[in-house]
């Protein structure tokens, strides 16, 4: 599985961005995709996940209401829409994949649960 994250950029606070994670080497239908971010000097943080079968979505409390994850299996791409950007959203954003279905209680926002990682796309928010 190869993952290519894109869509990052420099935006002003209050703006929006849509990040994309394109998967190759495996059909997206069978992948659970998570988005993570890492700000300078901080640990990697799970922000959102969309499961393979059923497409259930999960969000960190810190981003609920502002982040929306979605998938387009025909394009093998998962999107992360970020609205009302804040300075604290500044980070390198990564997407990651787990092959297979997941069940309630699975560690959706834990980096250790994922097997494949993309290279990251940088989001910089200026106030």
Question: Residues 85-123: pLDDT tens digits?
Answer: 999 999 999 999 999 878 888 899 999 999 999 999 999
At 105 the pLDDT is 87
Write out pLDDT tens, residues 20-29.
999 999 999 9
Query: What phi, psi does 113 have (nearest 5°)?
Result: -85, -10
Q: From residue 26, how far is each of 1, 43, 64, 97 by CA, in Å?
A: 6, 29, 29, 10
121-126 and 9-12 strand pairing: parallel
The pLDDT assigned to 54 comes to: 72
Report pLDDT for 100: 84
């Amino acid at each position: 599985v190869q993952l290519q994250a894109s869509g990052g950029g420099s935006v002003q606070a209050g703006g929006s961005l849509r990040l994309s994670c394109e998967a190759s080497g495996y059909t997206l239908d069978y992948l659970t995709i998570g988005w993570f971010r890492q700000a300078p000097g901080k640990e990697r943080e799970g922000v959102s996940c969309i499961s393979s079968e059923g497409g259930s979505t999960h969000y960190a409390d810190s981003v609920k209401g502002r982040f929306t994850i979605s998938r387009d299996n025909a394009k093998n791409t998962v999107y992360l829409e970020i609205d009302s950007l804040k300075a604290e959203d500044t980070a390198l954003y990564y997407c990651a994949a787990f092959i297979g279905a997941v069940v309630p209680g699975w560690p959706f926002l834990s980096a250790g649960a994922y097997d494949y990682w993309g290279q990251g796309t940088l989001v910089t928010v200026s106030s």
